[in-house]
Chains A and B, each alone.
Chain A
Amino acid sequence: MKKIGFFLGCNIPFNRPDIEYSARYLLNELGYEIVELEGASCCPAFGTMPSLDLVGWAAASAWNLTIAEEKGVDIITGCGSCYGSLNEARYHMEKHPEIKEQVNKILAKVDKEYKGTTKVWNFINFLYEDVGLDTLKAKIKNNLNGIKCAVQTGCHNLWPSRAYPTNEDNTFFPTRLREICESIGGVAPHYSTITDCCGMGALRSTASEKSLALFKKKLDVIKQEIDPDIAVTGCSSCLLQFDAGQALLIEQKKLDYKIPALHIAQLAAIAMGADPEKATAMASIPLNGVITKIKGGN
């Protein structure tokens, strides 16, 4: 059985454990043994150590990477920030041996050593490459029954491409998440603002109204161009904006339609037979309609 280390981060286990439930279900269904990364911390988030110091950032990321290294596994994460922070730290250490050296001096104080042997995956690239679309297709229990998906890959899942071991052919025209949705029975057309930022993150904390206005602009284009049944994200922070952020826009009477949203781990888990109640337990925008459509497919 193939093994994979599941890196939880913060938002998934604390705010959206329905993604954690789904990811665990999905990985098991796909035949992976989940290795717990006991003692893993925050990636660290970009507004924390990375904004203080490069070596401090790399040391905190390396703490997490060594936990996986010691268990001899690669890492998968559902959060774009975790994917970005861990991979960028990894890239900086690989490119600048003196940073790695300084990091290892710090890690030595707790008897750890960073080697650089662990690869960090997100769900998009993992499903696309390690699992493969054919395997994914072969394991479906509930075909998505043609539901129309608007995909949101997420910034950190794309850029900076130099830091990532695998990526889209053209990061400004991503297709992998679309192909994944289609392989489990959805329809996932391109739309013109597909790579636009959702606005979640530092912008949301610093200039909340502008962040939500940016998000609304994206939603309006999605609605007009493809009018989807659901939005599907590759990043848990994007999901927070697409779900809770959208609910906020509706509450503020700035939006007069609804597009339910799920992380790809949730949608794929449902396609593999996960309990939809649990898989969507924390959603603010109800998914009943979408689930009914999917259920009608088998």
Chain B
Amino acid sequence: MEEGGVNVIDLTQADESFVKELEALGADELRECIQCGKCGATCPMALAGLEFFIKRIVHAANLGLRDILLEDSSVWGCQSCNRCVEICPMDIKPYEVIQAIRRAAMKVESCPANTYEGLRNLYRFGHAVYPKGYEERRKKVGLPDKPPTVISNDEMRKKFQEILRNTILEEIAPFPLD
């Protein structure tokens, strides 16, 4: 996947059914957007130079431009910082539009590889970030090898996994949940 190009808005590709899908996935105020651009003015993605940033993503979402939204990696560069939610005068909750697009992309396995890594770690270890060699680092500051989280409690880890198996992860995880 490439970072967003400039000419991403193509009206001939508009697809109303995708707008409805996004609304159902959490972007429920999407249609009220007035394209004022305030979200883009505070968005770190825009400040960092991603061309397909939040204002344009909301625009594309409103048109139901399924292909570009699912293919472009920009939505995965969102920091979940919620500046856009704070500032939007129409209460669109633009971050939730991003989440809706991600949720749609996950269903068709159109997301970056590191997303799966985080999910797999979350399921297997109970921790999305689970780097090697942490025992040594902890020893250095006089802490026990393992923190008192799910990683040192098998019974709790299994219960946490059972919770995850009862979510949508069961349907769409691209790895076995055993």
Q: Are B86 and A206 in contact (CB under 8 A)?
A: no
A40:B128 contact, CB within 8 angstroms: no
The answer to the question of A145 belonging to the interface, with a C-beta cut-off of 8 Å to chain B, is: no
Contacts of B64-84 to chain A: CB distance below 8 A: 73-74, 76-83
A284 at the interface (CB under 8 A from B): no
Residue of A nearest to B160 (CB): A41
Within A18-52, the residues touching B (CB, 8 Å) are: 18, 20-21, 36-42, 44-52
Which residues of chain A (196-228) have a CB below 8 Å from chain B? 196-197, 199, 201-203, 205-207, 210-211, 213-214
Given the contacts A20-B141, A42-B126, A160-B86, A47 and B115 also touching, CB distance less than 8 Å: yes
A155 / chain B contacts, CB cutoff of 8 Å: 44, 79-83
Contact between chains at A10 and B148 (CB < 8 Å): no
**Chain B contacts for A50, CB-based, 8 A:** 80, 99
Measured in the bound complex, the distance between the Cα atoms of B130 and A42 in whole Å is 10
Complex Cα gap A201–B114 (Å): 12
Which one of B14-22, B30-38, B165-173 is at the A interface? B165-173
Contact B80 A203 (CB under 8 A): no
For residue A109, CB closer than 8 A to chain B, the reply is yes
* Complex CA–CA separation, A37 to B147 (angstroms): 10
Q: Which of B78, B127, B141 contacts A10 (CB 8 A)?
A: B127
Which of A56-64, A133-141, A176-184, A247-255 contacts its partner? A56-64
Question: Is B156 located at the chain interface by the 8 A CB criterion?
Answer: yes
**B143 CB contacts on chain A under 8 angstroms:** 13, 17, 20-21
CB-based contact B106/A44 at 8 Å: no
B contact residues vs A (CB 8 Å cutoff): 3, 26, 44-45, 47-50, 73-74, 76-83, 85-86, 95, 99, 102-103, 106, 111-112, 114-115, 118-119, 122, 126-131, 134, 137-138, 140-143, 147-150, 153, 155-157, 159-160, 162-164, 166-169, 172
Besides A59-B166, A84-B80, A203-B48, 7 other A-B contacts (C-beta < 8 A): A10-B127, A10-B129, A39-B150, A42-B127, A42-B128, A50-B99, A202-B80
Could you give 16 example pairs across A and B, Cβ below 8 Å? A11-B129, A13-B143, A17-B137, A20-B138, A42-B128, A44-B122, A45-B129, A49-B119, A52-B119, A106-B163, A109-B162, A110-B162, A159-B85, A171-B86, A201-B80, A206-B77
Which residues of A line the B interface, CB within 8 A? 8, 10-11, 13-15, 17-18, 20-21, 36-42, 44-56, 59-60, 63, 81, 84, 106-107, 109-110, 112, 155-156, 158-161, 171, 196-197, 199, 201-203, 205-207, 210-211, 213-214, 278, 281-282
